[in-house]
Amino acid sequence: QVQLVESGGGLVQAGASLRLSCAASGLSISNYAMGWFRQTPGKGREFVAAVSGADGTVYADSVKGRFTISRDTAKNFVYLQMNSLKPEDTAVYYCASSSRALIVVGRWKDFGNWGQGTQVTVSS
């Protein structure tokens, strides 16, 4: 059974940094693409970043150059380093695992396992 547990969220001011962590169990993250998504009230879940089984990365345009996804396959952790945070980054952030090693941009339904989410709030 796949379990994903996020941590690292919090309340910060605009311009600050946060690092989210995702502890994965029940799968080896080296074999699957892993991703981060976010959701705000009234909006659907939005893709943020993903890392493939071959360490390729994909980012949403809104976070490119500010966020970095990485993984530690020895610890089975995935991270999202978020720099230069903006109020519009406020959301619940979810870690997700894909059924594939590759990332197919736009095919977010491949990400079928989800964590419980961690709240990130950025004040202006």
Task: Give the C-alpha separation, 29 to 36, whole Å.
Answer: 13
Interval 23-66: pLDDT, tens:
999 999 999 999 999 999 888 899 999 999 999 999 999 999 99
Do the bridges between strand 10-13 and strand 118-123 make them parallel or antiparallel, or are there none, so unpaired? parallel
β-pair partners for 113: 97
Percent of the chain exceeding pLDDT 90 equals 94
Task: Give the C-alpha separation, 123 to 90, whole Å.
Answer: 8
pLDDT band for position 105 (cuts 50, 70, 90):
confident
Q: In terms of Cα–Cα distance, which of 52, 63, 66 is closest to 100?
A: 52
Q: What residues contact 43, with CB distance under 8 A and at least 6 apart?
A: none
